[in-house]
Amino acid sequence: MPQNVARFEILMYLSIVMTALIGLLDFSRFAPIVGARFIVGMVGFTIAATALLVWLIARRRQNWARWLLLVLFLVGIPGYAMAFAELAQDAIVTTAMSIMRVILQGAALYYIFTGAARDWFGRRALA
């Protein structure tokens, strides 16, 4: 596995941990609004789906999953911007953590599309 792929994997798993922590910290804030089951379900789904994509990308060399993760990240950027503006007023800690999560994910995606990772997904390099 190329170094860039290993970096991607580490950064993405760190972002998953951040997702879980943000969910825990914001739980009491949003549970009365949308319900506890909804929050647990959404955070659980997000963690599971992200972990599956990371595994498919880093361990199974699935190029389609790499592109899907990039598209999901790019589509989510406008939502991140709006959420940061709203959360910054009331939840400075989780807003800072959310910004850090986006930075981790952006860096991870940079690594997975650069250097030896490109050839690795093209199956031109040896496993």
Classify residue 123: in a domain, yes or no. Answer: no
Mean pLDDT of the chain: 87
User: HEC string of the chain?
Assistant: CCHHHHHHHHHHHHHHHHHHHHHHHHHHHHHHHHCHHHHHHHHHHHHHHHHHHHHHHHCCCCHHHHHHHHHHHHHHHHHHHHHHHHHHHHCHHHHHHHHHHHHHHHHHHHHHCCCHHHHHHCCCCCC
Per the structure, the complete domain to which residue 46 belongs is given by 3-118
pLDDT score, position 20: 92
Classify residue 127: in a domain, yes or no. Answer: no
Can you tell me the mean pLDDT for 69-94?
Answer: 79
pLDDT score, position 24: 86
Give the total number of structural domains in the chain: 1
pLDDT tens digits along 11-22: 999 999 999 998
